Amino acid sequence: MNRKTFFFASFFLVSCALPALAEVNCEQIRRYAKTGRTEEDIAETMVIDLETVKKCLQGGEAGAAPTPAAKK
């Protein structure tokens, strides 16, 4: 395997894996839903799975960053 092919294959694999590792922005999903988009459209637009969209729309924070504890 030559260097160009190896570099391209490595880049392709990393670029495909990055969206799966990213956090999901549930607030953005809710904004899209308010504009009338379907769950399938939102999942396709944000390149995430449909179950994650459904969790966010049901009020869950699927994959969102944890919120800091409230100060007393």
How does pLDDT run across 12-46, given as a tens digit for each residue?
A: 766 766 555 568 899 999 999 999 999 999 999 99
**Residue 12 within a domain:** no
Q: Which residues contact 40 (CB under 8 A, 6 or more apart)?
A: 50
pLDDT at residue 68, as a whole number: 46
**Residue 39 within a domain:** yes
pLDDT at residue 2, as a whole number: 83
**Residue 11 within a domain:** no
Q: How many domains does the chain have?
A: 1
Beta-strand ranges (E) seen in 1-72 are none
Residues 50, 43 contacting (CB under 8 angstroms): yes
pLDDT tens, position by position, 45-58:
999 999 999 999 99
Q: What is the number of alpha carbons within 13 Å of residue 35 lying toward its C-beta? A: 8
**Residue 51 within a domain:** yes
**Residue 16 within a domain:** no
Note the maximum CA span of the chain.
60
pTM summary value: 0.54
pLDDT at residue 8, as a whole number: 72
pLDDT at residue 67, as a whole number: 44
Cα 32 from Cα 71, distance rounded (Å) = 32
Domain range enclosing 54 = 23-61
